[in-house]
Structure formats: structure tokens, C-alpha cells
Amino acid sequence: MLIYVDTPFNEEQKDQLTYGSPEDLFVFKDEIESKEEQLATLLKADILLGNPKPVEWLEKANNLKWVQLYSTGFEYYRNIKIPAAITNMQDYYSQPCAETAVGGIMALYRGMDNFGVLKKEKKWVGYTLRAHLQLLQDKKVVILGYGNIGKRVAKILSGFDCEIKIYARTAPEATIRTTDDLLKELGWADIVIGCLPGTAETKGLFTSEMIRAMKQGAIFSNVGRGNLVEDEQVLIDALNEGKLGGAVLDVTAEEPIPADHPLWDCRNTILSQHSGGGNVSEYFGIAQFFLENLERFKKNIPLKNPVDFGRGY
């Protein structure tokens, strides 16, 4: 079979694929010089591993029998109609995303962002900062979304004896099910963590009214999708005015953030640049997952991680 690979693998990971399934022909996008030839190869391919752009290319690829995305999200392709089966990475990025959220919050509470700046400036002022350091222990937390990331965040926070409330529409563990109820709970929370997927229902879900309803000094974190926040400028103002104690943002409304964006200068804000799902073995794991799913495809066994277009994830 012809497998078109639109994923940024290095040479070792490419070898992992080709040696893992030597009977198939793997063609890698970055080894094809022209856009025209890339598209022509995609149109001939039986299987696609990757997230091709422009998205219209995928709609033209009617020969495809299976598409394995290397992401969890697939909002770019939601309106694409093709006969191929489509799978994604689902839970694969959940643990690193959860660690990014919790690690960033701990960095703010323990002053690690400030200490990093002081080290660069060679200033020793640690004693004067001690009174401003906080603990994650026993904090009150609202988690927005209880999918794979939300569950892993909750598991980590349970080790700090945090009191947790879950906002979700259908998860049985949720104690908050409507946006009206969420608005009422925000004044209770020391921390709010967004773990929601990017769907029509979650776009702009965290409104400006909700930002204003948060507790004085609370921390907001988002490791889900950047369009969760209705108006990012309202969040920025709340941070700069000291209404909020800080933010840990893995995702933002615009990515990458331009050089003149106000988030760069926003106080007490950690920007992890949509790297929250990353880890040293990330692409080796993607290649291995694909090879395992490829075996299932060849044996006509149901594929792992089928995408549900109706739910949006």
C-alpha cells in the first residue's frame, strides 16, 4: 500500500516506520520538493499519516481508505467529507498536557518564573519574596472538561489534597453542568483549568463575565483550545490589573502570537506555546501507534481512536 506521511518525523522515526512495515511504500512529504507533487502523491495514497494543509487537499483525496491524524484535535477537518476512516491520538497527549498545567501553576505559586528572571539578572532577593509564595496544597479547583486531560489533571491534584469541582455536560463525575452554575462557582475557586476540546459548544464558553466573576488572585490555566476564552483582552486586563494572580496558557486565540501581542508582556503569565503535549519520545510514540493501528487495518480489526465527528472529538 502507498502511505503518504505528512508528519514531521526525523530520519530515525522514518526508519521506525519503514522497518516496521517493509511491505508498504512510505512517501514522506518533506522529501517531495513541489506542492504539486505532494498533492499528486496524496491523491494516489491508500493511507495518510498526518494532518495535511491546506485542508482542501484532504477533501480531494477520495482514494484514501484510512487517515491517522497525529493530533488529538481535528477541528480544521470537521467539515471535510471523505469515505476514509479517520482516527486520532485521543489520550496520547493527556499526561504531558496535565503536567504542563499543574507544573505552570506550581511555578507561579512557588515563584519559579520570577526566580528565573532574577537568575538572568544576577539578583539575590529571595528573602523578600518568601512572604509572597503560595502552596498548591488544599487549593480549590474548577476543572473545565472531564475528558482524558481533565481526568489526569484531577488525579495529579488529588495528591495535593485539592478540593475539585468538575464542569462537564455529560461526565457522571461532574458537579457543574451548566454555564449558569459555572458562573456561580467561579468565586469559590483558587484555580480554573480549561481542558475542553475545540467544538462549537466550547467556543467562547469562558465568557468575560466569568473572568470578572473569578476570585481575586485566582489563577487561570488553559491546556484545551485557545478559543475557549470569549475575549482574550478581558483576560489580559484582569491579569495586568491584578484581578487575577496569574495564568498558564498553553493555547491562545492566535497562534503563533505576533511580536506585538500584549500577552508577551502580561504579568504573572506563563506561555508554553502549544507545547503542552510534547515529550522527548513524542514522535516515536506516534509512529509506534500508527504501526499498531496499521496491523489492525490490515486484519480488518476495528481501529483504535476513531474520530466522532458528531461529538467533535
Could you list the active site residues?
Answer: 225, 255, 274
Closest listed residue to residue 313, CA positions, set 140, 107, 75: 75
Enumerate the β-bridge partners of residue 26: 3
Q: Report the C-alpha gap between 16 and 287 in whole angstroms.
A: 7
In terms of DSSP H, where are the helices of the chain? Answer: 11-20, 35-44, 56-60, 94-109, 112-121, 126-129, 148-158, 179-185, 208-213, 232-240, 282-298
In terms of DSSP H, where are the helices of 203-301? Answer: 208-213, 232-240, 282-298
Q: Report the C-alpha gap between 304 and 88 in whole angstroms.
A: 8
- 112-121 and 94-109 helices, crossing angle to 10°: 70
Q: Report the C-alpha gap between 144 and 183 in whole angstroms.
A: 12
Preceding peptide of 256 cis, ω within 30°: yes
CA geometry: angle 211, 258, 150, nearest 5 deg = 45
Q: Report the C-alpha gap between 104 and 272 in whole angstroms.
A: 9
Instruction: Report yes or no: 26 and 41 within 8 Å, Cβ to Cβ.
Output: no
Count of positions (residues) in the chain: 313
